[in-house]
């Protein structure tokens, strides 16, 4: 009897809810300024995950689309038969060459993982960048600065970029790290004996200085007295380093530093009232940890931990930032550090924090103007550096009880792509690479999860995935440059051989000596 009553109660509740679903207006009912909404019958009965995508399938497709021999089986079979029937190696080579050229042409024009470039028909912006990184890494240290918001905090995304780029071009160490590390990082551990002040130019953890000398990291620490700092690299790869640099400005009392690495101790000192100084220690052996005692009155802009050659990649994550802070940094402090570091690539990964507020065309154009000014500032201070603007990841909000991509997100992506093109820099569409609209839902539901349950941030695994896709995009352009170089070399050889053959033929043709003499005298 009890079960019978429970069943009747359950059926009655379902019936009442069904009636409400049927009678409730589509736009809801307004009560005391609050709109009450209820799903319709069709919404209840229709699966809510129709728009979800298979992330495993998407990531596999993304990676396959960046490999040169990804042709349909039917095309491959047709090519095979045609090559078997070919009379010469030259014909076979021509078929393979046509396939290769078509792959690159399609990738640069259509692939979601491509870089959007100032001139879509000219990929030299990226290929020249890669050539510069390779050349500079062979001579010494070349630096990459990765600026972003909380999406890259704790060295997420950046650390994977660092490992991949150091595998490719060589290099060791962590790049620049703050003197005071407030956000826990998986790649560096820091302890400090005495508290020192920290100032940030932007973000929600704001404590601003009374000046603009924030340097390359957009932050500084203030030393008044003494402190001892211990730093340990926790990096998975390339963790050791043998070059330590400290960037600073001294005030009334100057700065003394004592660095201890194992059994070795090094001392350095600089005078008072010196703007933008650098202490440098070249160590005889590679280390992954050291202790430094600092004494004096100084602004400390950061430590740089590298080898003597290769690529260094710095993580500069500012929580809550929309990327509009560069113009609030003193140009001299910014330029001095980046020039000393030989920075040749600045990655600016922003847009997520601005998206919820870009509700009108006026606000969108206002953000465009702000980002336009930031890019111009960086270009002016670092004329040798390339800039890659990375747009926001997909983010979801709840609308009428359903998770969906933020309504303004695609406008933000379009804005970022436009401001990059208008300033002659590259743009990488992270939103599109992820899968586009509502893809973050699938990244969250993936096993293991590739994004956090806030439907905004990547998980550690997801950060590794998106960094890997960025690196693979770079590799396509690098492969193309090598392919084009071999093609040019081949054309030169063919031209040389043709000239040689013509010369041989000409030598065999009899020439009337009297006629030849008359021609030579003209």
Mean pLDDT (whole number) for 331-342: 98
Domain count for the chain: 2
200: part of which helix (H) or strand (E)? strand 197-200
What pLDDT is attached to residue 432? 97
Q: What Å distances lie between residue 293 and 228, 306, 333, CA to CA? A: 4, 20, 24
Asked if residue 5 and residue 139 are part of one domain, the reply reads no
Mean pLDDT (whole number) for 182-208: 86
DSSP 456: S
Mean pLDDT (whole number) for 215-243: 97
What pLDDT is attached to residue 457? 97
Both tokens of residue 297? 């009155």
Mean pLDDT (whole number) for 396-416: 94
Using the structure block, give the residue that is written with the tokens 């010369």.
Answer: 503
Nearest 10 degrees: Cα torsion 93, 94, 98, 99: -30
Asked if residue 331 and residue 200 are part of one domain, the reply reads yes
Do 259 and 290 contact (CB within 8 A), yes or no? yes
Do 231 and 189 contact (CB within 8 A), yes or no? yes
In a domain, 500, yes or no: no
Asked if residue 122 and residue 2 are part of one domain, the reply reads no
- pLDDT digits 0-9 by tens, 266-278: 999 999 999 999 9
Asked if residue 134 and residue 33 are part of one domain, the reply reads no
In a domain, 348, yes or no: yes
- pLDDT digits 0-9 by tens, 20-35: 666 667 666 666 555 5
CA–CA gap between residue 256 and residue 247 (Å, rounded): 13
What pLDDT is attached to residue 522? 52
Asked if residue 119 and residue 30 are part of one domain, the reply reads no
Identify the domain boundary among 12, 30, 46: 46
- Given a cut of 60, is residue 115 above it in pLDDT? yes
- pLDDT digits 0-9 by tens, 117-156: 999 889 999 999 999 999 999 999 999 999 999 999 999 9
CA–CA gap between residue 142 and residue 384 (Å, rounded): 12
Give me the helix-helix angle, 158-169 and 460-508, nearest 10°: 30
Do 309 and 139 contact (CB within 8 A), yes or no? yes
Return mean pLDDT, the chain. Answer: 87
Query: Which range, 10-14, 40-44, 149-153, has the best average confidence (pLDDT)?
Result: 149-153
112: part of which helix (H) or strand (E)? none
What pLDDT is attached to residue 66? 81
What pLDDT is attached to residue 207? 82
CA–CA gap between residue 250 and residue 277 (Å, rounded): 8
Q: What Å distances lie between residue 156 and 107, 291, 460, CA to CA? A: 27, 25, 7
Asked if residue 455 and residue 352 are part of one domain, the reply reads yes
Mean pLDDT (whole number) for 492-515: 66
DSSP 327: G
The contacts of residue 234 (CB under 8 Å, 6+ apart) are: 185, 186, 187, 188, 189
CA–CA gap between residue 216 and residue 231 (Å, rounded): 20
Asked if residue 150 and residue 14 are part of one domain, the reply reads no
What pLDDT is attached to residue 58? 79
CA–CA gap between residue 408 and residue 431 (Å, rounded): 13
What pLDDT is attached to residue 32? 57
| 145: β partners | 314, 346
Identify the domain boundary among 31, 46, 61: 46
In a domain, 56, yes or no: no
In a domain, 518, yes or no: no
Q: How many CA atoms lie within 13 A of 1 on its CB side?
A: 0
Asked if residue 35 and residue 182 are part of one domain, the reply reads no
Higher-pLDDT residue of 340, 181: 340
In a domain, 490, yes or no: no
The conformational region for residue 380 under phi > 0 = left, psi -120 to 50 = alpha, else beta, is: alpha
Domain enclosing residue 28, as ranges: 1-46
Instruction: Give the whole-number percent of the chain exceeding pLDDT 90.
Output: 69
Asked if residue 228 and residue 124 are part of one domain, the reply reads yes
Query: Where do the H-state alpha helices sit in 248-360?
Result: 331-341
In a domain, 186, yes or no: yes
Q: What Å distances lie between residue 423 and 367, 370, 380, CA to CA? A: 15, 13, 12
Mean pLDDT (whole number) for 215-233: 97
Asked if residue 306 and residue 422 are part of one domain, the reply reads yes
User: What CATH number is given to the structural domain containing 314?
Assistant: 3.40.50.1110
What's CA 441's distance to the chain center, in Å?
A: 22
pLDDT band at 50 (very low <50, low <70, confident <90, very high): very low
In a domain, 1, yes or no: yes
Using the structure block, give the residue that is written with the tokens 């130019």.
Answer: 201
Backbone φ, ψ for residue 92 (5° rounding) = -60, -45
**Is the peptide bond prior to 516 cis by the omega test (within 30 degrees of 0)?**
no
Rounded to 5°, angle at Cα 409 from 149 and 361: 110
Asked if residue 170 and residue 27 are part of one domain, the reply reads no
In a domain, 519, yes or no: no
What pLDDT is attached to residue 514? 58
Asked if residue 416 and residue 323 are part of one domain, the reply reads yes
CA–CA gap between residue 130 and residue 164 (Å, rounded): 13
């Amino acid at each position: 009897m009890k079960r019978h009553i429970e069943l009747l109660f359950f059926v009655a509740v379902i019936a009442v809810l069904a009636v409400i679903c049927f009678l409730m207006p589509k736009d809801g009912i307004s009560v005391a300024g609050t709109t009450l909404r209820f799903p319709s019958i069709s919404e209840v009965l229709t699966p809510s995950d129709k728009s979800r995508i298979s992330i495993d399938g998407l990531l596999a497709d993304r990676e396959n689309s960046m490999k040169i021999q990804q042709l349909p089986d039917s095309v491959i079979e047709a090519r095979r038969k045609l090559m078997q029937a070919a009379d010469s190696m030259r014909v076979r080579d021509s078929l393979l060459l046509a396939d290769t050229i078509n792959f690159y042409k399609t990738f640069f024009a259509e692939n979601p993982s491509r870089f959007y470039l100032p001139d879509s028909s000219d990929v030299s912006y990226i290929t020249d960048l890669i050539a510069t990184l390779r050349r500079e890494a062979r001579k010494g240290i070349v630096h990459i600065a990765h600026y972003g918001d909380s999406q890259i905090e704790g060295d997420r995304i950046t650390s994977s970029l660092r490992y991949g780029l150091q595998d490719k071009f060589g290099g060791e160490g962590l790049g620049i790290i703050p003197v005071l590390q407030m956000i826990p990082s998986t790649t560096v551990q820091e302890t400090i004996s005495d508290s020192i002040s920290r100032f940030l130019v932007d973000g929600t953890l704001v404590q601003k200085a009374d000046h603009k000398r924030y340097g390359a990291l957009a932050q500084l620490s203030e030393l008044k007295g003494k402190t001892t700092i211990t730093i340990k690299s926790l990096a998975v790869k390339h963790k050791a380093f043998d070059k330590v640099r400290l960037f600073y400005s001294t005030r009334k009392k100057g700065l003394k530093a004592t660095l201890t690495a194992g059994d070795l101790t090094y001392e350095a000192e600089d005078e008072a009232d010196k703007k933008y100084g650098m202490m440098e220690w070249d160590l005889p052996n590679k280390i992954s940890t050291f202790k430094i005692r600092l004494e004096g009155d100084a602004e400390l802009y950061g430590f740089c931990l590298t080898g003597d050659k290769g690529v260094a990649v710095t993580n500069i994550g500012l929580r809550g930032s929309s990327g509009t802070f560069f113009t609030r940094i003193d140009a001299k402090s910014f330029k001095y550090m980046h020039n000393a570091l030989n920075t040749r690539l600045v990655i600016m990964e922003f847009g997520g924090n601005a998206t919820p507020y870009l509700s009108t065309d006026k606000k969108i154009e206002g953000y465009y103007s702000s980002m336009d000014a930031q890019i111009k500032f960086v270009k002016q201070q670092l004329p040798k550096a390339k800039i890659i603007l990375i747009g926001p990841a997909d983010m979801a909000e709840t609308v009428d009880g359903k998770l969906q991509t933020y309504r303004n997100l695609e406008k933000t992506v379009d804005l970022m792509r436009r401001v990059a093109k208008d300033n002659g820099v590259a743009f990488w569409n992270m939103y599109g690479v992820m899968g586009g609209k509502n893809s973050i839902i699938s990244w969250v539901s993936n096993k293991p999860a590739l994004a956090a349950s806030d439907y905004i941030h990547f998980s550690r695994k997801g950060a590794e995935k998106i960094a890997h896709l960025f690196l693979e995009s770079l590799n396509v352009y690098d492969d193309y440059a090598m392919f084009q170089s071999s093609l040019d070399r081949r054309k030169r050889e063919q031209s040389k051989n043709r000239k040689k053959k013509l010369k041989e033929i000409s030598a065999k043709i009899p020439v009337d000596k009297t006629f030849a003499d008359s021609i030579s005298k003209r």
